[in-house]
């Protein structure tokens, strides 16, 4: 930090201290209200989503206030955290919604503490799983663009390169969307060295590379294409709305990638033991059975905790033949760079 920035920073710290001191002295007669700053992405805080429910439950029990900061998507959330680090600020105390592909970017910031629970999938210490999903293509056999009877849907990754799927796939940009990144990492895990050629070929197959999952799924629901990259749980969602829904999740012979979302505490941002305890209580609530039971019907993902009963519509979703995981250590920037070079 330059002397000028350091000077400005010290002024800001002094001012914040003065304001906080004044605030505390006013509240001294009562009990000071603690504030926990949470960073998450927008769909977790969407109307009917899990976020609002968690916030109200926690605020009732903790005698504290949650300050929710919402980023557009998980990738933006990570960028924001990185920016805070660059600027020497630590405003975010708990991050909710980071997945295992983005986790290596933020692992160093995390407090090495994981909430207790018997989880389906476990990552490093510091990462508390929230939910998970198996990524797959969702198939619409009744798509109006088919001339005659629908073709056989793809069963292997390489089937996607068949000319009959040209401009008929709806995919997400891996730079902005975690399912999109999951597709690239899944292709690498499934195809190994052949992944580069596969990605170069798939470039002619997608109709559009949407910035986010909701964009591509919206286009799929409008009938623009017969295949969209999503989660097996999307089939459960459609069945819950319409038991005769034609949409089907496709699992591939080489396997399907998994996405594990979770939360962590930003070590530098939880100043004292009291604040750290508050953050731990919040993360523990997310891992509790009562919240985990709400995940299938609010987030349309699978609960991270083992033994949580699933709604009926989840019973029919196909299980992956093999689960594809990204390597534990990988450089996201290099992966995205290779992807960009492959599609040109």
Please pick, from the candidates 141, 196, 201, 215, the single residue that binds other proteins as defined by CB under 8 A.
215
End-to-end CA distance of the chain, in Å?
39
Please pick, from the candidates 126, 179, 186, 212, the single residue that binds other proteins as defined by CB under 8 A.
212
Size of the site for other proteins (CB under 8 A): 46
Residues 17-56 that bind other proteins (CB under 8 A): 42
Find, among 130, 112, 41, the residue nearest to 80 by Cα. Answer: 41
Please pick, from the candidates 208, 245, 276, 284, the single residue that binds other proteins as defined by CB under 8 A.
208
The two structure tokens encoding residue 180: 């999109």
Kindly state the smallest distance separating residue 280's Cβ from other proteins, in Å: 26
With residue 53 as reference, give the H or E element that holds it.
helix 50-62
If the CB atoms of residues 214 and 245 are measured against other proteins, the closer one turns out to be 214
The answer to whether the CB of 263 falls within 8 A of the CB of 279 is no
Verify binding: residue 111, other proteins, rule CB under 8 A: no
For residues 300 to 329, the per-residue mask of contacts with other proteins, x marking binding by CB under 8 A and - elsewhere, is ------------------------------
Find, among 303, 272, 300, 298, the residue nearest to 55 by Cα. Answer: 298
Stretch that binds other proteins, among 3-11, 125-133, 269-277, 293-301 (CB under 8 A): 3-11
If the CB atoms of residues 11 and 22 are measured against other proteins, the closer one turns out to be 11
Query: To 10 degrees, what angle do helices 50-62 and 273-286 make?
Result: 140
Stretch that binds other proteins, among 2-10, 15-23, 184-192, 259-267 (CB under 8 A): 2-10
Please pick, from the candidates 28, 48, 222, 244, the single residue that binds other proteins as defined by CB under 8 A.
222
Give DSSP secondary structure letters for 115-184. Answer: --S-BSS--STT-EEEEEEEEEEEE-TT-TT-SSSPPPPP-SGGGGGSGGGTT-EEEE-TTT-HHHHHHH
Kindly state the smallest distance separating residue 167's Cβ from other proteins, in Å: 7
Q: Give 256's contacts (C-beta < 8 A, 6+ positions apart).
A: 134, 135, 136, 186, 232, 320, 321, 322, 323, 324
Verify binding: residue 109, other proteins, rule CB under 8 A: no
Which residues in this chain contact other proteins in the complex, by CB under 8 A? 2, 5, 8-9, 42, 70-73, 75-76, 78-80, 82-83, 86-87, 105, 167, 173-176, 203, 206-212, 214-215, 218-219, 222, 224, 332-333, 336-337, 340-341, 343-344
């Amino acid at each position: 930090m330059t002397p000028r920035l350091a000077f400005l920073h010290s002024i800001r710290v002094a001012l914040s201290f003065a304001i906080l001191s004044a605030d505390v002295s006013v509240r001294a007669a009562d009990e000071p209200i603690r504030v926990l700053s949470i960073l998450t992405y927008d769909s977790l805080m969407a109307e009917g989503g899990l976020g609002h429910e968690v916030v109200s439950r926690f605020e009732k029990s903790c005698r504290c206030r949650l300050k929710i900061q919402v980023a557009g998507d998980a990738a933006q959330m990570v960028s924001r955290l990185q920016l805070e680090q660059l600027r020497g600020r630590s405003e975010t105390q708990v991050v909710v919604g980071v997945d295992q592909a983005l986790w290596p970017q933020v692992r160093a910031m995390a407090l090495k503490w994981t909430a207790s629970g018997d989880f389906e999938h476990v990552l490093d210490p510091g990462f508390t799983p929230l939910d998970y999903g198996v990524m797959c293509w969702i198939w619409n056999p009744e798509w109006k663009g088919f001339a005659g009877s629908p073709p056989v849907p793809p069963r292997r990754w390489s089937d996607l390169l068949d000319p009959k799927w040209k401009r008929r796939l709806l995919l997400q940009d891996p730079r902005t969307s975690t399912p999109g990144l999951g597709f690239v990492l899944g292709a690498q895990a499934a195809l190994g060295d052949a992944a580069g050629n596969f990605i170069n070929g798939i470039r002619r197959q997608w109709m559009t590379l949407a910035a986010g999952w909701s964009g591509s799924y919206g286009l799929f629901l409008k009938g623009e294409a017969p295949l969209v990259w999503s989660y097996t749980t999307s089939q459960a969602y459609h069945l819950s709305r319409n038991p005769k829904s034609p949409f089907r999740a496709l699992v591939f012979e080489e396997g399907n990638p998994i996405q594990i979302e979770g939360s962590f505490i930003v070590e530098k941002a939880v100043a004292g033991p009291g604040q750290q305890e508050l953050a731990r209580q919040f993360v523990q609530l997310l891992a509790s059975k009562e919240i985990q039971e709400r995940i299938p019907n609010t987030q349309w993902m699978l609960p991270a905790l083992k033994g949580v009963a699933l709604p009926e519509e989840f019973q029919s979703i196909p299980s992956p033949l093999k689960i594809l995981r990204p390597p534990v250590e990988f450089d996201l920037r290099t992966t995205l760079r290779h992807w960009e070079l492959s599609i040109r």
